[in-house]
A and B are shown apart, each in its own frame.
Chain A
């Protein structure tokens, strides 16, 4: 029910929304919880294990019960706390963990078997047969228990990540937070004020206290307005700071578009912030505790502070006839606020023997709440006096105050442990638990408004001083300055029914006692055995009470029992926000060659090579499969001429007096003897002696080299070279830089390659003045280009490089000329076939476990000099007949299809791993040789050319006998490339 004249909602702005299929109306400023409470809704959801009806218990992000699913379809969000969700037009929410409806839930039958469903029940019961746990029991239990569900669809809504920096981060905008932000901002510091709620003011919005002669909410609004006007302040409402990390870094989750009726598609739903702050003030307030008693989970049992908040901030009566149960003075505030609003207070049950005099209130002391009644909504509270006389209080709302727990979570995120304060019966932060962070106000165990304001100001002054800024003494407004008077009272003794501690995970005092009885007596063990504190609220409502019950059961004190570990995040964070930007193609950047558009226009499907997109093949009319195109492209290169973009290969420019010496160190073979204008193939080892990469390096001039790496290892090799230079020979005079992206480079390969090139070169070349493995500058259509005579196809081949801006134009021109000569573009598939026919290796062969010996290049490890990895490569076991060595394989008969990944066995041996002789790394159909071909590693393979092995692929069901051969299947003398 809405109370006239109370609350901060805008009564002139009604907002319609839907909950559980029914239409409701609230006001601008309402949360889903306040609007539904105002409409008389009591049941918000069903509990996790027992499916008991549950209503809203709190008014903040700690809410354990009122978890709802918002939205429909791919974007539906489960476990949204109704206490945080603002209502807006079009909002559609529904209750969770119930079927068919919130009012009638079939699984409520679980509640009848609650005696069996205590802690550890599943572990003890569903043990046999062992296999059944994963297949039958766990899925069934998970279906019956649980909260909301994800849509299981891909959601393309936009989420965002962002970074922020400041001098001072203030977490929370209650009296302490506002004061800290105001004083620091006035002192000139760059301030970020983060507030979880959509409206700043914290507890000032929920109380009737005056601050500085005006209402608390009024003072908050004025202070926020001042902050908003300052250029050095960033106000971040709807932002929960969720973790404290190293070096003053804080994680925060901002709700950006979750309260918007018709959000633009570009508007992020949430933003995950990383805030780096030189100093921080934690003014996150405190959470009010429940007290455990029989059936304390009925809809209508709430925290007293929440009842006050709904009344004062939203103008909503949580009940018409309210009973209070308290162990401290705070309960009386709720009673007085309710009476002032014209509501009836049925009784104030004070657990203390020294209850304060309150003649205006119906206070009862010396009684215990032993039960409650009302299934879907609280109907009555049953109390017993000291003599055991039972009476019933008819009531529709029980407001419970068990004291307040400082929201100190962030202070513990770097392994600090809080201290117990007996006088307020709560854990408080110790100074310095997170470097640079100071707790202030209720988060620090300081509860009066006046003291909160003072602590906020003091924290700001301390921060300003550490930032090297002076602070003027703050003028503290007058405010309430009451003391805390509390009796530690966790559990009502003598209850006959279950008494809940953790509402979200359905954990009762009985479960905690059972854990202690079964010797899960450490607080961490108790947590895991009972699941207390493991629900979305992460134990905010139950941790302290649960460990008090555990302390009682084990005969220890609360400080000795200790707390469980507080870990980030402080509130649940959607993975979509943490992974923002990483959806779909956002996962990794795309790298496009200059010829990408031209290749795409020719219908080439793209294959991803690292981050690069490279054309797979170029289909032509009449070609039914990729193989048709690939076979044609291979024969085109063998017979005519083909063009292929090879710009993706890594290119590193190396210059300096020690450049040649450096190449000798990183390559197994010698480069310092390479003459300008010449190119050499080189092999590179890792420090452990295994092959790192291979490629060609050209000598471009004196002390000037151009290294080529494979596409896949371009970054790796650059990093390796930098490491070798900086770590092993920093005094050597050389400089290097990647030029991969500066040049567009195209292979021109085939018997007609020179004819084609000469049609574009300003000065033609011939075979003699530009022999195999030479390089030089040429001019082409008015620009300077680089020409290399190298071949990865085994044919007469060149690679021509031009500045990337000309890449697309040159590619189109070269392909057109090739087509006029009966050739054309070829893609990765054909490139792969051409190199397998020639026995050239790629990272399929140099996959990180092979040595130079394995690939038959041991002769390239120069005996005359040292190189990185040489010593390690000579270790025992890295060379010899026991090694699997590179061989070629040809199926018998040649038409049999084989595949990479197959394993090799001796003929007659059973194809099991114990008999494994090797494995296949690359396979193709060779249109040149008209057979399938494979490159493989075979034990003692080089000595077994001419023999037969059995190739078995258990995955694809292949079993083929193959002949072992020289891996250079085609033109083993290499005459074609030198033509």
Chain B
């Protein structure tokens, strides 16, 4: 039987580096939107606990590399890197694995790169490791997650991958040019 070739959202676009900052695409993972039904928030939290995670409060995440539950909006979180076991009937579950272009921005200048495109205070005090936000990346809607002191995970609509890479790369090269002055 022939099979269909898989392509990730940033296929052919990444990785790129400039000025000590690298933008890369993490390996694809299962992403499920988890939206607990009315009155089922505690049950959803319990089911997520069983997965070693939990229900994240607004603007936060639980877990980390490999397995993560990320706040993404009102009554909604993304379960990344795990099957949504024990959640059926408790929460609306929707596969989002293919809906997003995921990018990882890493390096000493990562925060400065994002400061060109993101209107949020990303200082260690206001946006510590583990924080999540829905915001804008230039003109694009974005989910932002601080995965490390110098690394951020960025999610934009899959169709906008090329624009997002272009804008981030432009900010990276502009900063590299500033540093060279």
Contact = CB atoms under 8 A, between A and B. Distances in A.
Interface string B151-172: 0000001111111100100110
A656 B92 contact: yes
B4 A804 contact: no
Contact of B2 (A256, A741, A781, A807): A781
Given A737-B94, A739-B99, A781 B3 contact: yes
Contacts of A802: 4
Which secondary structure dominates chain B's binding surface? loop
A89 to B, nearest CB: 15
B92 A808 contact: no
Interface stretch (A62-70, A589-597, A967-975): A589-597
A70 B119 CA distance: 32
Contact of B6 (A162, A736, A740, A806): A806
Given A161-B116, A164-B115, A805 B6 contact: yes
Given A781-B2, A782-B1, A737 B100 contact: no
A735 B35 contact: yes
B14 interface: no
B41 interface: no
B123 to A, nearest CB: 6
Interface in A161-178: 161-165
B139 A591 contact: no
Given A164-B115, A735-B37, A808 B178 contact: no
Contact of B4 (A267, A612, A739, A813): A813
Interface in A572-601: 581, 585-586, 588-594
B45 interface: no
Given A591-B157, A655-B92, A805 B98 contact: yes
B155 to A, nearest CB: 11
Contact of A589 (B115, B119, B160): B160
Contact of A737 (B3, B76, B120, B173): B76
A592 B176 contact: no
Contacts, number: 145
A581 B138 contact: yes
A339 B161 CA distance: 67
B36 to A, nearest CB: 8
A780 B170 CA distance: 40
A164 to B, nearest CB: 7
Contact of B115 (A162, A594, A731): A162
B124 to A, nearest CB: 10
Contacts of B4: 780-783, 802, 806, 809-810, 813
A593 B159 contact: yes
A894 to B, nearest CB: 41
Interface string B56-91: 000000000000000000011000000000000001
B181 A260 contact: yes
Contacts of A590: 160, 162-163
Nearest to A762: B1
B96 A739 contact: yes
Interface string A181-199: 0000000001000000000
Most buried by A among B5, B158, B167: B158
Given A589-B140, A802-B4, A813-B4, A266 B96 contact: no
Contacts of A594: 7
Contacts of B117: 581
Interface string B102-123: 0000000000000111111101
A572 to B, nearest CB: 23
A653 B118 CA distance: 29
A764 to B, nearest CB: 15
A145 B140 CA distance: 43
A742 B99 contact: yes
Nearest to A654: B92
A264 B170 CA distance: 13
A737 B33 contact: yes
A810 B180 CA distance: 46
Nearest to A731: B38
**Among B4, B33, B173: residue with most chain A CB under 10 A:** B4
A216 interface: no
A157 to B, nearest CB: 12
Contact of A588 (B120, B123, B139, B176): B139
B97 interface: yes
Contact of B96 (A164, A655, A737): A737
A591 B159 contact: yes
Contacts of A588: 139
Contact of B98 (A160, A741, A813): A741
A191 to B, nearest CB: 13
Given A274-B119, A804-B98, A589 B164 contact: yes
A661 to B, nearest CB: 13
Contacts of A158: 170, 174
Nearest to A264: B177
Q: Which of B2, B95, B98, B163 is most buried by chain A, counting CB atoms within 10 A of its CB?
A: B98
Contacts of B176: 266
B28 interface: yes
A743 interface: yes
A165 B6 CA distance: 42
B98 A743 contact: yes
Contacts of B170: 158, 266
B126 interface: yes
A592 B163 CA distance: 10
Contacts of A256: 178
Contact of B94 (A163, A264, A611, A655): A655
Nearest to A653: B94
A803 B98 CA distance: 6
A834 B178 CA distance: 54
A752 B172 CA distance: 51
A593 B118 CA distance: 25
25 contacts: A163-B115, A165-B121, A165-B126, A190-B123, A263-B177, A264-B177, A267-B181, A274-B119, A589-B139, A589-B140, A590-B160, A590-B162, A612-B159, A735-B35, A737-B94, A737-B96, A741-B158, A743-B98, A782-B1, A803-B97, A806-B4, A806-B5, A806-B6, A807-B7, A809-B7
Q: Which 6 A-B pairs have the closest CB atoms?
A: A735-B92, A591-B159, A735-B35, A267-B177, A742-B99, A655-B92
Interface of B: 1-9, 28, 33, 35, 37-38, 75-76, 91-92, 94-100, 115-121, 123, 126, 138-140, 157-164, 167, 170-171, 173-174, 176-178, 180-181
Given A256-B178, A268-B177, A733-B38, 11 more contacts: A165-B126, A266-B176, A274-B119, A586-B138, A589-B138, A592-B159, A655-B35, A741-B157, A780-B4, A803-B95, A810-B4
